[in-house]
């Protein structure tokens, strides 16, 4: 999950395993959530989003789960590949704002071949 400070949480997995990255969001009024992937030297890349009227949404090899009761969001990546190695971070719309986002600090995913 997320943490305060200069050192990102890290997750190391073997190629082919499933990865689960967690995020605790801060504002109970947030109703829109996004997962981004950021590779070294690149800008954040949109992966998947979910609105608060859903608790699960699936994309290609990715699934996002939302638990509003405990303000928790997770990203599951199936059959993780070396190209999935990156920093992943979640974002929430700030207190219900429809266009301003608050970003978490991220989790570094390393996929070992």
Partner 1 sequence: NAGVTQTPKFRILKIGQSMTLQCTQDMNHNYMYWYRQDPGMGLKLIYYSVGAGITDKGEVPNGYNVSRSTTEDFPLRLELAAPSQTSVYFCASSPRDRGLGQPQHFGDGTRLSIL
**Interacting residues with partner 1 (CB under 8 A):** 5-8, 31-32, 34, 41-46, 49, 51, 89, 91, 93, 98-106
CA atoms within 13 A on the CB side of 39: 9
Closest distance to partner 1 from the beta carbon of 56 (Å):
17
Closest distance to partner 1 from the beta carbon of 94 (Å):
9
Closest distance to partner 1 from the beta carbon of 81 (Å):
22
- Residues 6+ positions from 110 with CB-CB distance below 8 Å: 10, 11, 12, 13, 85
Is 73 in contact with 17 (CB distance < 8 Å)?
Answer: no
Name which of 23 and 77 has its Cβ closer to partner 1. Answer: 23
Name which of 15 and 31 has its Cβ closer to partner 1. Answer: 31
| Alpha carbon distance 25, 46 (integer Å) | 18
Name which of 32 and 78 has its Cβ closer to partner 1. Answer: 32
């Amino acid at each position: 999950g997320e943490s305060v400070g200069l050192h990102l949480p890290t997750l190391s997995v073997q190629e082919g395993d499933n990865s689960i990255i967690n995020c605790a969001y801060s504002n109970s009024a947030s109703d829109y959530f996004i997962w981004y992937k950021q590779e070294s030297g690149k800008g954040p890349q949109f992966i998947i989003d979910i609105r608060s009227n859903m608790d699960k949404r699936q994309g290609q090899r990715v699934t996002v789960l939302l638990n509003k009761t405990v303000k928790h969001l997770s990203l599951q990546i199936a059959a993780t590949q070396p190209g999935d190695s990156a920093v992943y971070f979640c974002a929430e719309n700030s207190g219900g704002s429809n266009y301003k986002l608050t970003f978490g600090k991220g989790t570094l995913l390393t996929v070992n071949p």
